[in-house]
């Protein structure tokens, strides 16, 4: 890792473990915290089918030894569990290792499932190296599993035993099992595509029915779907299929038509069938049309709070931003609030009320109780809405929660197209379907504001023609950025160093104070192309 960790973590601890501990703390975990595990259903995926006979065979081979075997998917959810003796099985069950339970680093800290998924590298974690005290009775070896057909991360195999045992066999056993699982995944590709094709043919028997089937390396669409969707719509539908299990999603097409995407997993295959049906008046019943003032608009930074507030308040509304308190002081800001609210006048928008002190919160709550002026408040989500600013939330007549961009990825292709259309001189530019899919895969912590900045940077990349993934700023190419703040910071440091070196990796490595091989290893782990 190129980021630093506290000295007390480094002494006597391997760098990869120290870095994992730092990520665990950034997720808000404490060593003595009990695991807070949630369980979701897991279906019969290609990974589960490929690994099941390997796990059964290895369990039989190791019968009588003290080993536990855990298979998890790329989201760190446990898919299968096996134990070579009852005592190990009972201990794993008590710790929560059951199908459907998520074991990511952000949930239980350093462990042989979440850590290999985070670093995309195999790792041995000795008993005391686990972040949670509850896991320190085990020594485990985690090995990532990559699909040999797509080279995408498919999951991880975790093999472990008591911390006091002999661990020399963990690495060769895990590598042998992962090799067998990856071979079975490759053999399963043709069968998977046959199942997807059969599902598509069955769904397409009704003429004129817009249907798509989306799977790994395969996209099938009926003529009706091709007629209905333009390239932007295709990217939105594929993103929806890849991000959604069983779900119904509303979408406005590029043509302006409202449709409902009914996404259903294809049985015994890694793919989703998407039925595209008209949305008959679904949007007319949205609660935002009936919002009452005072209104509380809740959303992350960049999620469109100001736009939503202005739309609700009307064109004559005035705005007072709590962010100005730092510049003008509490007394001046309080006087401005009183002047704006005394007497009659247009609706007042108060932005960023999460920045208000208890005294200013009390002052604003008094005006809300008086109810003689229309108010719209904007605020970030968080515990403060049930603590410091609970009074403001309870006094508002209605509330509108804005979803972050990462939870509505299927809207990103159309949003990006609209943003590009609004850039001066960009009328001769076109976002390709691949570029739209890459954009939809990003985490977008800055939400709409961040997407708008990236689209504007794209528009500067060329004057006409197709905008391809290589035109994106380097930090947004390829797969999504890593999830933890520490890994995102490391990624940004590396990307900035490479850009400052004009793309020369050797110069960038010297500037960062690491070897070129270390830089390349970190680039692979952080998915920097």
Taking each helix axis from N to C terminus, what angle separates 231-243 and 433-441, rounded to the nearest 10 degrees? Answer: 30
Task: List 321's β-bridge partners, or say none.
Answer: 351
Average pLDDT, rounded, for the chain: 81
Q: Report the side by side order of strands in the sheet with 247-252.
A: 218-221, 211-215, 271-278, 258-265, 247-252
What gap in Å lies between CA 63 and CA 85, rounded to an integer?
7
Across 17-152, the runs of DSSP E, i.e. the strands, are 68-73, 78-83, 123-125, 138-146
Query: By three-state DSSP, how is residue 443 classified?
Result: coil
Taking each helix axis from N to C terminus, what angle separates 433-441 and 447-459, rounded to the nearest 10 degrees? Answer: 150
Q: In this prediction, what percent of the chain has a pLDDT beyond 70? A: 87
Looking at the predicted structure, is the pLDDT value of residue 120 above 70?
yes
What gap in Å lies between CA 218 and CA 453, rounded to an integer?
32
Q: What pLDDT does residue 7 have?
A: 35
Distances (CA, A) of 458 to 56, 148, 317: 50, 32, 34
Q: How far apart are the first and last CA of the chain?
A: 18
Looking at the predicted structure, is the pLDDT value of residue 357 above 70?
yes
293: left (phi over 0), alpha (psi -120 to 50) or beta: beta
Residue 145 in contact with residue 155, Cβ under 8 Å?
A: yes
Q: Which residues contact 490 (CB under 8 A, 6 or more apart)?
A: 1, 2, 3, 482, 522, 526
Retrieve residue 18's tokens: 């120290």
> In this predicted model, what pLDDT tens digit does every residue of 413-436 receive, in sequence order?
888 888 888 888 887 888 888 888
Confidence bin at 237 (pLDDT 50/70/90): confident
Query: What is the rounded average pLDDT of the residues 498-513?
Result: 75
Query: What is the rounded average pLDDT of the residues 60-82?
Result: 89
Burial of 322 from C-beta contacts in 10 A (0-12 / 13-18 / 19+): buried
More confident residue, 352 or 286: 352
Residue 364 in contact with residue 353, Cβ under 8 Å?
A: yes
What gap in Å lies between CA 520 and CA 529, rounded to an integer?
10
Task: List 298's β-bridge partners, or say none.
Answer: 379, 401
Looking at the predicted structure, is the pLDDT value of residue 355 above 80?
yes
Q: In this prediction, what percent of the chain has a pLDDT beyond 90? A: 19
Q: Which of 79-93, 158-172, 265-279, 288-302 has the lowest mean pLDDT?
A: 288-302
Query: Which spans in 142-296 are helix H?
Result: 170-203, 223-228, 231-243
Q: What pLDDT does residue 499 have?
A: 66
What gap in Å lies between CA 411 and CA 259, rounded to an integer?
13
Burial 295-313 (b: 16+ CB within 10 A, else e): bbbbbbebbbbbebbbebb
Query: What is the rounded average pLDDT of the residues 47-64?
Result: 88
Q: What pLDDT does residue 78 have?
A: 92
Looking at the predicted structure, is the pLDDT value of residue 481 above 50?
no
Q: Report the side by side order of strands in the sheet with 318-321.
A: 318-321, 348-351, 375-379, 295-298, 398-401
Confidence bin at 71 (pLDDT 50/70/90): very high
Looking at the predicted structure, is the pLDDT value of residue 484 above 70?
no
> In this predicted model, what pLDDT tens digit does every residue of 175-195 receive, in sequence order?
999 999 998 888 877 777 788
90: how many CB neighbours lie within 10 A of its CB? 11
Task: List 450's β-bridge partners, or say none.
Answer: none
Q: What pLDDT does residue 384 have?
A: 84
> In this predicted model, what pLDDT tens digit does every residue of 269-307 receive, in sequence order?
778 888 888 877 654 434 444 457 889 999 888 888 898
Q: What pLDDT does residue 492 have?
A: 64
Query: By three-state DSSP, how is residue 151 classified?
Result: coil
Looking at the predicted structure, is the pLDDT value of residue 5 above 50?
no
Distances (CA, A) of 268 to 54, 195, 245, 271, 480: 18, 8, 14, 9, 27
List, as one string, the DSSP characters of 46-83: HHHHHHHHHHHHHHHHTTTS--EEEEEETTSBEEEEEE
Q: What pLDDT does residue 289 have?
A: 45
Looking at the predicted structure, is the pLDDT value of residue 245 above 50?
no
Confidence bin at 233 (pLDDT 50/70/90): confident
Q: What pLDDT does residue 111 have?
A: 94
Looking at the predicted structure, is the pLDDT value of residue 259 above 90?
no
Confidence bin at 442 (pLDDT 50/70/90): confident
Confidence bin at 440 (pLDDT 50/70/90): confident
Confidence bin at 42 (pLDDT 50/70/90): low
Q: What pLDDT does residue 1 have?
A: 39
Query: What is the rounded average pLDDT of the residues 447-460?
Result: 88
Query: By three-state DSSP, how is residue 155 classified?
Result: strand
Q: What pLDDT does residue 488 have?
A: 60
Q: What pLDDT does residue 527 have?
A: 62
- DSSP-derived letter for residue 402 is P
Looking at the predicted structure, is the pLDDT value of residue 122 above 90?
yes
Residue 451 in contact with residue 415, Cβ under 8 Å?
A: yes
What phi, psi does 46 have (nearest 5°)?
A: -60, -35
No. of helices (H) and no. of strands (E), the chain: 20, 17
> In this predicted model, what pLDDT tens digit does every residue of 396-417 receive, in sequence order?
878 888 888 877 777 888 888 8
Q: What pLDDT does residue 190 have?
A: 72
Residues in the chain, total? 529
Retrieve residue 187's tokens: 């053999």
> In this predicted model, what pLDDT tens digit does every residue of 198-230 receive, in sequence order?
888 888 777 778 888 887 667 888 888 888 887
């Amino acid at each position: 890792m190129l980021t630093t960790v506290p000295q007390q973590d480094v002494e006597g601890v391997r760098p990869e473990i120290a870095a994992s501990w730092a990520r665990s703390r950034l997720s808000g975990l404490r060593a003595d915290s009990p695991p807070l595990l949630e369980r979701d259903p897991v279906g019969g995926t290609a990974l589960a089918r490929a690994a099941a006979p390997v796990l059964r065979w290895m369990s039989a081979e190791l019968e009588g030894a003290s080993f536990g075997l855990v298979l998890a998917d790329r989201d760190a959810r446990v898919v299968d569990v096996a134990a070579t003796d009852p005592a190990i099985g009972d201990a794993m069950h008590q710790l929560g290792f059951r199908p459907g339970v998520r074991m990511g680093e952000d949930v239980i800290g350093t462990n042989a499932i979440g850590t290999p998924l985070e670093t995309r590298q195999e790792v041995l974690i000795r008993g005391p190296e686990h972040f949670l005290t509850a896991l320190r009775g085990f020594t485990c070896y985690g090995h990532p599993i990559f699909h040999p057909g797509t080279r995408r991360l498919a999951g991880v195999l975790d093999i472990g035993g008591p911390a006091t045992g002999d661990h020399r066999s963990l690495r060769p056993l895990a590598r042998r099992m992962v090799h067998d699982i990856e071979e079975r995944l490759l053999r399963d590709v043709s069968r998977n595509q046959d199942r997807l094709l059969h599902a598509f043919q069955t769904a397409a028997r009704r003429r004129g029915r817009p249907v798509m089937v989306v799977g790994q390396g395969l996209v099938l669409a009926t003529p009706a779907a091709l007629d209905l969707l333009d390239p932007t719509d295709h990217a939105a539908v594929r993103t929806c299929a890849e991000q959604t299990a069983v779900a119904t999603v509303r979408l406005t097409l590029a043509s302006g038509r409202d449709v409902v995407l009914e996404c259903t997993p294809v049985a015994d295959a890694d793919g989703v069938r998407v039925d595209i049906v008209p949305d008959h008046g679904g949007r007319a019943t949205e609660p935002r049309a009936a919002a009452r003032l005072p209104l509380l608009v809740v959303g992350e930074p960049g999620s469109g709070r100001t736009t939503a507030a202005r739309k609700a308040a009307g064109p004559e509304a005035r705005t007072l931003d709590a962010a100005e308190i730092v510049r003008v002081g509490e007394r001046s800001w309080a006087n401005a609030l009183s002047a704006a609210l005394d007497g009659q006048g247009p609706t007042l928008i108060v932005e960023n009320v999460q920045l208000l002190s208890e005294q200013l919160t009390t002052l604003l709550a008094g005006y809300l109780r008086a109810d003689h002026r229309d108010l719209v408040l904007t605020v970030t989500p968080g515990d403060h809405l049930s603590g410091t600013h609970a009074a403001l939330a309870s006094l508002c007549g209605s509330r509108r929660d804005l979803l972050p961009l990462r939870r509505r990825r299927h809207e990103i292709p159309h949003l990006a197209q609209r943003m590009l259309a609004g850039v001066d001189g960009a009328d001769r530019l076109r976002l390709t379907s691949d570029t739209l899919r890459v954009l939809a895969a990003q985490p977008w912590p800055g939400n709409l504001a961040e997407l708008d900045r990236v689209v504007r940077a794209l528009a500067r990349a060329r004057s006409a023609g197709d905008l391809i993934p290589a035109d994106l700023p380097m930090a947004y190419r390829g797969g999504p950025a890593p999830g933890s703040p520490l890994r995102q910071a490391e990624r940004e440091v590396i990307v900035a160093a490479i850009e400052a070196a004009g793309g020369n990796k050797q110069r960038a490595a010297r500037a960062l104070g690491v070897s070129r091989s270390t830089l390349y290893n970190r680039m692979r782990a952080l998915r920097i192309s």
